[in-house]
A = this chain, B = another copy of it.
Amino acid sequence: MFYSAAVDIASGFIKDDASPEQVAAERALYEPLAEAVRQLVDASIRTTVDADEVRAVTEDLERLAARLQRSQLPGAYGVRYGSDGTGRPWGNTVVGVRNPAAPPLRTVKDAETLGNVSADFHLGAAYEGPPSHVHGGVLALVLDQMLGEAAGAGGRPGMTATYTVTYRRPTPLGALSARAWISRTEGHKTWAAGEISGPDGVTVEAEGLFVLPRWAREAGGTDSPDAPHYF
């Protein structure tokens, strides 16, 4: 059942051998573009300028989108690997630096405890569910990524098999933090747990099961410590 998808996923891990200098130059080029579009996402929701101005800006944005679309990748970004083996999951919807829909999360691995990861981040108007609060599903999205990164940081990367999210109280939009850790292991199975906190403490908790698919174990392509980013 997993076969064709496995091939599709495997083919999206692209070794382009970009040098660290090239990667740094790409990052310096695309991060400001993503940030400008991120500002536009927020402004599209919140602007109150008059209708003529909205229409004029919209037309200009359509022209600029067409300029960027003149030459583009045939599909999604995938994950690209540079000459030093570092992967770039730059389209990823949570951590992708080229993705304006991503906050983007920057996760930090604990130097002392293998498998512990944390992130400080800000979620604005684009992530709203209940008024002024983060959509519960966005919290699940962030926790899925964090749990996967914990599994990977502990040397046990995998794809999510199942997870449960429990909401303790509403999470306000704004500054938030998340942390995750490995809670249990058994063969190719890894359980990871995590939580998100707002200014008044923990608002949501999650625990999930991560499994490294057979094709990935056989390909050996996910042994990199960065692999968890990619699932």
Name the contact of A64 in the complex, choosing from B61, B90, B160, B170 (C-beta under 8 A). Answer: B61
CB within 8 Å of B: which A147-196 residues: 148, 159-170, 172-173
CB distance from A78 to the nearest CB of B (A): 4
CB within 8 Å of B: which A128-160 residues: 128-133, 135-138, 140-145, 148, 159-160
What are 25 A-B pairs at a CB distance below 8 A? A1-B168, A2-B170, A5-B172, A9-B133, A11-B132, A12-B131, A29-B51, A29-B55, A36-B58, A36-B61, A39-B61, A39-B65, A40-B68, A40-B100, A41-B41, A45-B90, A48-B73, A57-B68, A73-B125, A79-B131, A99-B126, A100-B126, A135-B144, A140-B144, A159-B170
Name the contact of A65 in the complex, choosing from B11, B36, B96, B130 (C-beta under 8 A). Answer: B36
CB distance from A208 to the nearest CB of B (A): 9
Name the contact of A33 in the complex, choosing from B36, B58, B72 (C-beta under 8 A). Answer: B58
Given contacts A36-B62, A46-B73, A94-B137, 14 further A-B contacts (CB under 8 A): A5-B169, A30-B44, A54-B68, A77-B128, A93-B129, A93-B138, A135-B141, A135-B144, A137-B141, A140-B144, A159-B167, A162-B165, A163-B164, A163-B165
